[in-house]
Amino acid sequence: MHNKSVAELSRELESGKISSVELTREYLGRLKKEDEQLNSFISITEEQALADAHAADEQRAAGKATPWTGVPFAHKDIFCTNGVATTCGSKMLANFVPPYDATVTENFRKAGAVCLGKTNMDEFAMGSSTESSHFGATTNPWGLSQGEKRVPGGSSGGSAAAVAARLVPAATATDTGGSIRQPAALCGVTGLKPTYGRVSRYGMIAFASSLDQGGPIARSAEDNALMLNVMAGFDPRDSTSIDRDVPDYTATLNEPLKGLRIGLPQEYFASNLNAAVEEQIRGAIREYEKLGATVKEVSLPHADLAIAAYYVIAPAEASANLSRFDGARYGYRCEDPKDLMDMYTRTRAEGFGAEVKRRILVGTYALSAGYFDAYYLKAQKVRRLIQQDFIDAFQEVDVLMSPTTPSPAFVQGEKSNDPVTMYLEDVFTVAINLAGIPAMSVPAGFVDGLPVGLQIIGDYFSEARLLNAAHQYQQVTDWHQREPQ
Amino acid sequence: MQWDIVIGLEIHVQLATRTKIFSGSSTAYGAEPNTQANAVDLAMPGTLPVPNEQAFRYAVMFGLAVNAEIERRSVFERKNYFYPDLPKGYQTTQLERPIVGPGYVDIDLANGETKRVRIHHAHLEEDAGKSLHEDFHGMTGIDLNRAGTPLIEVVTEPDMTNAEEAVAFAKKLHGIVTSLGICDGDMSQGSMRFDVNISLKPSGSETLGTRTETKNLNSFRFMEQAIAHEVERQMDILEDGGTIVQETRLYNGDRDESRSMRTKEEANDYRYFPCPDLLPVEIDDAFIEAARNSLPELPDARKARFMEQYGLNDYDAGLLAGDSKLAAFFETTAERGKDAKLASNWVQGEFSARLNAEEKPVADSPISGAQLGDLVVRIADNTISSAGAKKVFEALWTGENDNVDAIIDAKGLKQVSDTGELEKMVDEVLASMPDQVAQYQQESDPKKQKKMLGGFMGPLMKASRGQGNPKLFNEILLRKLGT
């Protein structure tokens, strides 16, 4: 049962072969047992899940089911869940129980899906390894059979690891600079970062507001489509969400790929790329050619500036977004503050981890009088150039393809003391966030028994085309079906 | 040494929208603390701002009323600083692209001249909450009801040269925003708050001196006092050869003293940057035209109309037209009373004096424009004297009775205007004062004569028990005394 996709589970529930309560019990049992070595969940909401499963079975019996009614899944612990602790992986919010749902949370609730709990993440989504969580690191299920504890990527490492280990068939995630695609790649699952504004950010705890975007992680492109059908849409509570019709993303999955024009950005196949990874990606592209696609090399001239621009803009926004965590109204407050300044300084010194503090400091510096023009304004100019690179590229091709990461999952602890090396994990992913376009990571092979991800990048609002391209590839390959031992 | 005073103002105007600028919470004043603060106002994690269209409409109306350019693409920025009544740790405001660009307001001065005060810009922003230091022993309470109330901050050029001009500008602005209906104008509740920037320079010098900012003045009187106080303070320092420190000061109106709040060196680096949660707001022609069409009559137009329609002079028309509620009260009084000049005198005189004495806004007046109009009718038709009218006014104000004629009857205030009866009284009084009559008739200076005439009025009023029509007494006296 645990190997079934969302689409399959939905059909089984519909046929009456299994009830949501039975399914939920089975998943919960497996989750509680298997997650001890992975630590992919921060909280498991068993009672609530079973109550929701009961309600879902009644809905289905009443003939009021959606494809999601009764299907188990999990939320990244960055989405606010009414009445359920939402920690963002931080000590600062370890005790925070929101009195409201995120729009994404509300959408899944309305669709009748059964949330089993909240998945682990880098603190405030700042990281590429899910090692900076206050609730401990998550372990990648791949590599365990070799006796190694490898990172699942981050920041949505809990969601990716849980889906890879079949603890849930699907999980929500967020992506500010690669936080859906990089963990999806490292865990051998499929993930999609939608166009900025496609999925509401209301109730999704902000890291960098102009870059953050919620999206799905599941094993197949088809399940990603089913998730996006629930997640996407205009939300009057988010002024940056875009009022544009949401297509049925499953409707176009089976379109043939004949004539699809694929561009390979030459800058993403440069010297820092692991040769074995490149070989796997080249192999995937040959599959696309067999499916009728044409391939050409393109250039993104400002690609090498993306990391620098990103690590100014994202921390700058974060430095303001995280100011609200001051100990005054909710969340962590230090013991016995002497005065206001003491409350602020100790609350924030004790409540935030090292990486979050590093980024707040970097962002504060970049916005300071005398530095603003050289850093923040310059980075915004670079951002527009990067955006223009993509706009130009999409004049020539329909999608771009590249590796999602330069190398497969690394061993825990290997990069945690070297922030710059850690930041380079996102070298192929951050530009997509700066441009605001959608991109996926699709399992495309293995190197030394570890998954490799193919990144497929599209023009604004081309999610349906990306899902179609990924789905067609998954009809002729089985990388996404491989199960870690 | 002679000094020139240079004054610029920053005025925070609370907009009278029903809900807050970025959330659906009510903006009503005076509710229990924190009952009008939702998840957005509390800056709960993941919550996002949604702009209130009405606040933009009001800001555009203001811009049009002060002859300003409207910014077509206005941008919100985050102003970062930590304070417990600022829940997000930043204030959402405007810096580079404020919604209202340069404009101007003309003010009337007591010497009859008109002066133009330029407006540098006006921007939209959210108000902070309130820190309550008094009510909790050793602790500070936070009330976030006000957090997120929409404000426009109006920034003038340093065009004013004394307290009179600054107060005239402040009153004019008050008249404009209340006439527009975009602010309730209630300064005691903080609906309008003034910051005054003051500097001195040697008379005639082109170089501006170092300025100070005195913050949060919430009445015209305090503003006038604070300016006088600060000018004197700076003058003392400069004349002693000292230098002015650029700083923000707080003025205590009850004690007429001020203290430094923070100097320039202590000022925050606010690290402004465009708010990524809010897209730039595009304002198109249709929106501006709709706002223009919804503009009510403004003080300048109303003043012109009052001069034309009621024959008021420039000064009276300006005073009455400046405040929309006072203007409306006057119009009711004038129309009911059928004598605009008399209505104007009473509205500006007895009525305004009484409101001021009791610190009441026009809206809280216990008497209506119609009642005062009825009173004006009885003054104009000589039924009562002005002394009698004051007694009627008093009775109306205290609520003793609400009908003018009933009060006149009950108090026996009706004037005697029967000339035969009055002539008899004049004859008797003149007969009893032969010396004064002779003196009067020998006097050749008409001024002195006029003064002596007053000497007969007292006994006449006494003889008529205060009910003789003084105007008629005067006429009869002049005739009988043979001038």
Q: Which residue type is seen at B74?
A: S
- What is the mean pLDDT of the segment spanning B62-86? 96
Q: Which residues of A touch B279 (CB under 8 A)?
A: 239-240
Q: Which amino acid is at B340?
A: A
Residue of chain A whose alpha carbon sits nearest to that of B143: A329
Distance CA A446, CA A162 (A): 19
Alpha-carbon span B129 to B87, nearest angstrom:
8
CB contact under 8 A, A239 and B279: yes
- Which of the pair, B466 or A63, is modelled with greater confidence? A63
Listed in sequence order, the residues at least 6 apart from B210 whose beta carbon sits closer than 8 Å to its beta carbon are B199, B243, B244, B245, B246
CATH of residue A172: 3.90.1300.10
Smallest Cβ distance to B49: which of A80, A239, A326?
A239
Q: Which of B23, B48, B78 to mutate to test the interface with A (most CBs of A within 10 A)?
A: B48
Largest separation between any pair of C-alpha atoms in chain A: 70
CA proximity to B238, closest of B2, B478, B47, B483: B2
pLDDT at A485: 85
CB contact under 8 A, B273 and A330: no
Structure tokens belonging to residue B264: 């320039």
SS3 of chain B: the string is CCEEEEEEEEEEEECCCCECCCCCCECCCCCCCCCCCCCCCCCCCCCCCCCCHHHHHHHHHHHHHCCCCECCEECCEEEECCCCCCCCCEEEECCCCCCECCEEEEEECCCCCEEEEEEEEEEEEECCCEEECCCCCCCCEEECCCCCCEEEEEEECCCECCHHHHHHHHHHHHHHHHHHCCCCCCHHHCCEEEEEEEEEEECCCCCCCCCEEEEEECCHHHHHHHHHHHHHHHHHHHHCCCCCCCEEEEEECCCCEEEEEEEHHHCCCCCCEECCCCCCEECCHHHHHHHHHCCCCCHHHHHHHHHHHHCCCHHHHHHHHHCHHHHHHHHHHHHHHCCHHHHHHHHHHHHHHHHHHCCCCHHHCCCCHHHHHHHHHHHHCCCCCHHHHHHHHHHHHHCCCCCHHHHHHHHCCCCECCHHHHHHHHHHHHHHCHHHHHHHHHCCCHHHHHHHHHHHHHHHHHHCCCCECHHHHHHHHHHHCCC
Which residues of chain B does A206 touch, with a Cβ-Cβ cutoff of 8 Å?
45-46, 277
Report CA Rg, chain B.
29
Shortest distance, CA A168 to any CA of chain B (angstroms): 25
Q: Does B177 reach chain A within 8 Å, measured CB to CB?
A: no
Dist. CA B25–CA B50, nearest whole Å = 12
The phi and psi torsions of B247 (rounded to 5 degrees) equal -160, 170
Residues of chain A with Cβ-Cβ distance to B128 below 8 Å are none
Question: What residues of chain A have any CB closer than 8 angstroms to a CB in chain B?
Answer: 79-80, 86, 88, 93, 96, 98-100, 102, 201-206, 208-210, 236-240, 316-317, 319-320, 323-324, 326, 328-330, 340, 344, 364, 367-369, 372, 376
Q: Which own/partner contact pairs does B27-32 have at CB distance under 8 Å and 24+ positions apart?
A: B27/B149, B27/B150, B29/B186, B29/B189, B30/B189, B31/B145
> Token pair of A23, please?
């399914």
- Residue A437 to residues A176, A198, A350, A461, B249, Cα–Cα distance (Å): 12, 10, 37, 7, 50
Closest CA–CA distance from residue B91 to any residue of chain A (Å):
10
Give the distance from CA A59 to its chain's centroid: 30
Chain A contact set for B39 (CB, 8 A) = 98-100
B-chain CB neighbours of A236 within 8 Å are 50
Which helix or strand (DSSP H or E) is residue A104 part of?
helix A103-111
Q: Could you read off the pLDDT of B302-331 as tens digits, one per residue?
A: 999 999 999 999 989 998 999 889 999 999
Asked if B34 is an interface residue toward chain A (Cβ–Cβ < 8 A), one would say no
**How far apart, in whole angstroms, are the C-alpha atoms of residue B58 and residue A97?**
38
Q: Report the residue of chain A nearest B86, measured CA to CA.
A: A324
Subunit contact B39:A99, Cβ cutoff 8 A: yes
CA–CA gap between residue A314 and residue A309 (Å, rounded): 8
Euclidean distance between CA atoms A442 and B77, whole angstroms: 38
- Which among A203, A319, A329 is the nearest to B87, CB-wise? A329
Q: How far apart are CA A92 and CA A347, in angstroms?
A: 8
Q: Which chain A residues are Cβ-neighbours of B90 within 8 angstroms? A: 320, 323
A19 an active-site residue? no
Residue that wins the pLDDT comparison between A246 and B264: A246
What are the backbone dihedrals phi and psi of residue B96, each rounded to the nearest 5 degrees, phi first?
-75, -35
Minimal Cα distance from B92: which residue of A? Answer: A320
Question: CA dihedral in degrees (B442, B446, B452, B456; nearest 10)?
Answer: 100
Mean pLDDT split into 10-residue runs, chain A, 485 residues:
94 96 98 97 98 97 96 98 98 98 98 98 98 98 92 97 98 98 98 98 98 98 98 98 97 98 95 90 98 98 96 98 97 95 97 97 96 96 98 98 96 88 90 98 97 98 98 98 94
**Out of A237, A323, A369, closest to residue B82 by CB:** A323
Joined together, the tokens standing for residue B139 give 């602790």
List, in order of start, the domains of chain B with CATH numbers: 3-291 (no CATH), 297-411 (no CATH), 419-480 (1.10.10)
Q: Residue B58: how many CB atoms within 10 A of its CB?
A: 24
Per-residue pLDDT band for B437 (boundaries 50, 70, 90) equals confident
Our answer to whether residue A155 is catalytic in this structure is: yes
Q: Which of A96, A208, A367 is the closest to B271 by Cβ?
A: A367
Give the closest residue to A282 by CA, choosing from A401, A197, A185, A375.
Answer: A401
The band of B157, judged by pLDDT with boundaries at 50, 70 and 90, is: very high
Identify whether B219 is preceded by a cis peptide bond (ω within 30 of 0). Answer: no
Confidence of residue B483 (pLDDT cuts 50, 70, 90): low
Of A237, A239, A328, the CB nearest to B278: A239
Say yes or no for a CB contact (<8 Å) between A88 and B276.
no
Q: Is A76 a catalytic residue?
A: yes
Contact list in A for residue B78 (CB cut-off 8 A) is: 320
Q: How many domains does chain A have?
A: 1
Q: Which residues contact B453 (CB under 8 A, 6 or more apart)?
A: B440, B474, B477, B478, B481
Q: Which of A99, A205, A210 sits opposite B276 (nearest CB)?
A: A210
Residue pair B27/B65 in contact by the 8 Å Cβ criterion: no
Could you tell me if B139 lies within 8 Å of chain A, comparing CB atoms? no
Query: How far off is chain A from B17, nearest CA to CA, in Å?
Result: 19
Task: Give how far Cα B56 sits from Cα of B10, B15, B151, Å.
Answer: 19, 10, 10
Contact (CB, 8 A) for A157 and A129: yes
Residue type, B243: T
**Closest chain B residue by Cα to residue A238:** B48
Contact list in A for residue B87 (CB cut-off 8 A) is 324, 328-329
Candidate from B84, B273, B276 with C-beta closest to A340: B84
Tokens of B292: 């223009």
The closest CB to that of B279, out of A86, A99, A240, belongs to A240
Residue B480 CB burial class (10 angstroms; 0-12, 13-18, ≥19): middle
- Residue A75: name the closest of A120, A18, A9, A136 by CA: A120
Segment B32-63, tens digit of pLDDT: 999 999 999 999 999 999 999 999 999 999 99
Taking each helix axis as running N to C, give the angle between helix B419-432 and helix B470-480, from 0 to 180 degrees, rounded to the nearest 10.
Answer: 60
Q: Any residues with CB less than 8 A from the CB of B264 and at least 6 apart, and which? A: B245, B246, B247
Question: Closest approach of chain A CAs to the CA of B289, in angstroms?
Answer: 25
Q: What is the DSSP letter of A252?
A: T
Predicted ipTM of the assembly: 0.96
Determine which one of A20, A76, A241, A402 is catalytic.
A76
CB–CB contacts below 8 A, A to B: 101
Strand A261-265 relative to strand A399-403, pairing = parallel
**What is the distance between the alpha carbons of residues A227 and A170, in angstroms, rounded to a whole number?**
8
Instruction: Report the interhelical angle of A6-15 vs A221-231 (nearest 10°).
Output: 80
- Mean pLDDT value of segment B266-292: 94
3-state SS assignment for residue A169: coil
Kindly report the nearest CA distance between residue B272 and chain A, in angstroms: 7
The pLDDT value recorded for residue B387 is 84
Q: State pLDDT tens for residues B337-348.
A: 999 999 999 999
Structural domain including A235 reads 1-485
**Interface test with chain B among A176, A204, A242, A319, by most B beta carbons within 10 Å:** A319
Please tell me the pTM assigned to this model.
0.90
Q: Is residue A9 a contact partner of residue A114, using CB atoms and an 8 Å limit? A: no
Distances (CA, A) of A27 to A6, A9, A17, A161, B15: 13, 12, 16, 15, 54
Look at residues A245, A196, A257, A197 and name the one whose alpha carbon lies nearest to residue A221. Answer: A257
**Structure-block tokens of residue B476:** 């009869």
pLDDT, position B214: 96
Least CA distance to A93: which residue of chain B?
B45
Q: In whole angstroms, what separates CA A91 from the centre of its chain? A: 21
Torsion of CA B119, B121, B127, B133, to 10 degrees: -50
